[in-house]
């Protein structure tokens, strides 16, 4: 516990204020010890502190002799030397309760593809903690009802997800047999996997597709076969998954557009209750309606979203989206008219 002794001798004698400093430093060590690499921004977001504070805490940790190393560049960050190990303090009651809540959320109705693996991992954590968790207030199952909505149906989804995750960690290229619904075709593709994302009940892979020569998004439920190749790849220093996904309304990317949509009551209330996009702006009008404004990448998902509101949503911009929805409504009108004629 040389680090704790160092912090106490150098800083904690100055007052209670520095107890928080020790706590944050210990949390940073725990994060670096359980994660491969974290950037200053990622640590700041997890601990709810400023990037400036993160850098200061990292310096304290280094002065204590802990081998925190850094990698420059956009994809870089901090990490611990492989030979170093620090026995992190046990979970407190709040952290343990948060872990149990996460387990319940992910295992609800077995919708999480790695539910069995998660349950055994939690069991090991409980066993390792022993009596230190005895005072934690248990959460009755019937007092915590969770619903993840629609989920994918795929027998081997857990195998696909695990294989991709290991390939990401090892920076290994994968080869998949992928079904493209829009073209109703299957093709083999080689992909450099960058990240997996869970969104709206489905798992997606983000990676560089060598067939298309660009970063693409793939739905895991449509991967019919997968193998990890011996070829390795280098994660591009100028690519950020967060930025890539930032203005995508759901998961289908495309050209960037400025959209303006008017929502009438009661849809206007629902729109104001959620953060749909990081850059959204909502303008309230006197009649109770609102104008939703945002920049989005691609129009396919936003079109589906607008249509789901029926007559309560009217697109004002861009013209491409207005025309696309008008065409969709005309086709629907013809289909319904044809169905009605057949019944007569």
End-to-end CA distance of the chain: 84
Residue 341, in any domain of the structure: no
DSSP alpha helix (H) spans, 11-50: 17-34, 40-47
Using CA atoms, how far residue 41 sits from 20, 46, 63, 242, 328, in Å, is: 19, 9, 22, 12, 43
Contact 171, 207 (CB under 8 A): no
With respect to residue 344, please indicate whether it lies within any of the assigned structural domains: no
Number of domains in the chain: 4
Global confidence as pTM: 0.55
Which of 211, 239, 267 marks a domain boundary?
A: 239
CA distance 321 to 268: 20
Contact status, residue 260 vs residue 198, Cβ threshold 8 Å: no
Asked if residue 115 and residue 73 are part of one domain, the reply reads: no
Name residue, tokens 């997968």: 226
Q: Does a structural domain hold residue 114? A: yes
- Residues of the chain falling short of pLDDT 50: 1, 4-5, 7-8, 11-17, 109-110, 131-146
User: Is 162 in the same domain as 235?
Assistant: yes
**Is 22 a member of any domain?**
yes
Where a domain ends, among 239, 274, 305?
Answer: 239
- pLDDT score recorded for residue 73: 74
Point out the domain boundary residue: 212, 239, 266.
239
Q: ∠ at Cα 268 (265, 273), nearest 5°? A: 135
User: Does any domain span residue 149?
Assistant: no
Question: Domain containing 39 — which CATH number?
Answer: 1.10.10.10
What range defines the domain where residue 329 resides?
256-336
Residue 342 lies in a domain: no
User: Is there a domain that residue 319 lies in?
Assistant: yes
Looking at residue 29, what is its pLDDT?
83
Residues 99 and 73 in one domain: no
Based on the fold, state whether residues 223 and 265 are members of the same structural domain: no
215 and 268: one domain?
A: no
- Which DSSP string do the residues of 155-168 spell out, in sequence order? TTHHHHHHHHHHHH
């Amino acid at each position: 516990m040389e680090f704790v002794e160092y912090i106490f001798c150098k800083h904690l004698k100055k007052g209670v204020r520095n107890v928080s400093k020790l706590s944050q430093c210990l949390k940073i060590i725990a994060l670096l010890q359980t994660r491969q690499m974290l950037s200053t921004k990622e640590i700041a977001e997890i601990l709810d502190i400023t990037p400036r504070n993160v850098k200061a805490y990292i310096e304290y940790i280094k002065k204590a002799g802990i081998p925190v190393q850094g990698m420059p560049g956009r994809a870089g960050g901090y990490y611990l030397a492989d030979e170093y190990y620090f026995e992190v303090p046990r979970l407190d009651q709040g952290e343990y309760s948060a872990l149990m809540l996460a387990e319940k959320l992910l295992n609800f109705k077995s919708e999480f593809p790695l539910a069995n693996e998660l349950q055994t991992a939690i069991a090991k954590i409980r066993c390792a903690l022993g009596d230190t968790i005895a005072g934690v207030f248990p959460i009755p199952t019937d007092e915590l009802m969770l619903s993840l909505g629609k989920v994918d149906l795929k027998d081997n989804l857990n195998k696909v997800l695990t294989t991709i995750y290991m390939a990401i960690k090892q920076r290994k290229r994968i080869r998949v047999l992928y079904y493209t619904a829009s073209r109703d075709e299957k093709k083999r593709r080689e992909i450099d996997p960058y990240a997996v994302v869970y969104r709206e009940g489905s798992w997606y892979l983000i990676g560089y597709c060598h067939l298309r020569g660009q970063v693409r998004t793939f739905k895991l439920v449509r991967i019919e076969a997968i193998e990890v190749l011996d070829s390795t790849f280098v994660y591009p220093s100028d690519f950020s998954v967060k930025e890539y996904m930032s203005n995508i309304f759901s998961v289908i990317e495309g050209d960037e557009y400025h959209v303006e949509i008017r929502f009438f009551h009661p849809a206007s209330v629902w729109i104001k209750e959620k953060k749909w996009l990081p850059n959204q702006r909502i303008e309230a009008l006197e009649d109770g309606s609102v104008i939703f404004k945002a920049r989005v990448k691609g129009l396919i998902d936003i079109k589906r979203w607008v249509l789901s509101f029926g007559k309560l949503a009217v697109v004002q911009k861009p013209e491409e989206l207005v025309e696309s929805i008008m065409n969709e409504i005309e086709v629907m009108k013809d289909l319904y008219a044809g169905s009605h004629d057949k019944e007569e």
